[in-house]
Amino acid sequence: MRKAYDAWWSETRPMMINETVEMCPVRPYHEAYREQLASGGINQWKPATPDVSATQ
């Protein structure tokens, strides 16, 4: 199994072209989350309650 893994890794590693790229200093998703959090706009999520009357 180790031999198969090593073969897979040797083949896969060259395809990882972004491994040495520096991270972007700004992460838009994180920034948007922080802005929404600061504005008080993140509500506690609750799953929808199914309408059981439709199945009876």
Q: What is the DSSP string of 3-26?
A: HHHHHHHHHHGGG-TTTTSPPPS-
Task: Give the pLDDT score at 55.
Answer: 64
What pLDDT does residue 5 have? 97
Residue 44 lies in a domain: no
SS3 at position 55? helix
Identify whether the C-beta of residue 30 lies closer than 8 Å to the C-beta of residue 38.
no
46 lies in a domain?
A: no
Taking the model in full, what pTM does it have? 0.40
Q: Which domain holds residue 6?
A: 1-39
Is 27 inside any structural domain? yes
- Residue 21: inside a domain: yes
Number of domains observed in the structure of the chain: 1
In a domain, 56, yes or no: no
Q: Give the pLDDT means over successive 10-residue stretches in the chain (56 positions).
A: 96 90 89 90 82 70
Write down the pLDDT at residue 54.
65
Contact 39, 31 (CB under 8 A): no
How far is residue 19's CA from residue 13's CA, in Å, rounded to a whole number? 9
